[in-house]
Every structure is written in structure tokens, then in C-alpha cells.
Amino acid sequence: MIKVLFICLGNICRSPMAEAYFKDLIDKKGLTNQFFIDSAGIGSWHEGKPPHQGTQEKLRENNISFEGIRARQITLDDFNKFDYIVAMDEENLIDLKKLSNNKTDVKVVKLLDFVEDQLIKNVPDPYYTGDFNQTYHLIESGCQALLESLRIKYHI
């Protein structure tokens, strides 16, 4: 089983959107049993809360379930437990390195690095931009490219 953890700052806008999108994608491809998917935030401010209203709207618009998704803060144990820790932006990467005392290795990656010819390398934070549409489209292409990369690597 391939274990993937999506990370953003608050775990209410971007990473729960990526978690829900990726779960839906692997479900459509019949790959659900091959994965364990979760998301978490760098901060704990929204612990226990469902995704932001804007994230919920985009997911509903696209018929993607976010049932059971609640915000939580990343723990040190997550660094051992997951095969891939997928950050939304460079700031998340810096925070992840600090949190793990620089013990992050190849498993800590950035979502949009998987997308070829993508000039935007960080998923903008709609908590500040208000643009959930732009964020959704970037997460969509990032998750599709991430899955393709994992399918090649793990021959699934």
C-alpha cells in the first residue's frame, strides 16, 4: 500500500481539496485498495474542522465527496508512517524540514513539481487569494501527474 499525505498550512483549503480529489481519482481508476490517503496542516488552528466553504463548493461542483475529512496538525510520526509527504508550496517544504529536524528525504515533495511545463510551482493559498477555482485546477493537474508518476514507479 502506498501511503500519501497532502500538506498545506491550515489543512482546510488546499490539502483537504487534494485529499478528496486524489481519493476520487484513484476510486475512478479502481486503485483505491492500493493507497492510503490523508492530509494534515502545518498549524493546528483549525483542528477538527471540515474543509473551508470555498473548498466544499468546488468539490461539490465536481461531484467529489469530502465526507469525513477533518483538519488535523502534522505529527512527527507522520514522517515515518507515510511514503510521500506532498506539500502545496515552498513555505510548507521549509516548515516540514524544520519540523523534522532536516530529516526529510526524497519522500517530501511539492505537488506541482510533478507537472511538466507548469510555470506555477506553488499552489496559491485561496484562504488569502479567494480564488478557489485557480487552486482547484492546479490541484487537479498536480494530482493527475502525481498518480501517473506513482503508477509508473510502482507498476500499478
| Complex with ligand 4NP: residue 32 or 122, whichever CB lies closer | 122
Residue 11 as a binder of ligand 4NP (CB under 6 A): the answer is: yes
From 6-14, 25-33, 73-81, 96-104, span contacting ligand 4NP (CB under 6 A): 6-14
- Residue 40 binds ligand 4NP (CB under 6 A): no
Phi, psi of 65 (to 5 degrees): -75, 140
Contacts of 88 (CB under 8 A, 6+ apart): 6, 7, 8, 9, 14, 15, 18, 110, 111, 122, 123, 125
Q: How far is the CB of 131 from ligand 4NP (least distance, A)?
A: 12
Question: Counting Cβ atoms within 10 Å, is residue 124 exposed (0-12), middle (13-18) or buried (19+)?
Answer: middle
Establish if 13 lies at the interface with ligand 4NP (CB under 6 A): yes
Query: CB of 139: closest distance to ligand 4NP in angstroms?
Result: 10
CB of 84 to ligand 4NP, least distance (A): 18
- Cα dist. 27→3, 9, 105, 122 in Å? 15, 26, 29, 26
Q: Is 151 among the residues known to form the active site? A: no
- Give whichever of 41 and 82 is closer to ligand 4NP, judged by the CB atom: 41
Catalytic residue among 8, 13, 38, 78, which? 8
Residues 77-136 that bind ligand 4NP (CB under 6 A): 125, 127
Residues in a beta bridge with 86? 6, 109
Mark whether 143 is an active-site residue.
no
Which burial class, exposed, middle or buried, applies to 145 when counting CB atoms under 10 A from its CB (0-12, 13-18, 19+)? middle
Q: Which residue numbers are catalytic?
A: 8, 14, 125
| Residues near ligand 4NP (CB under 6 A) | 8-14, 45, 125, 127
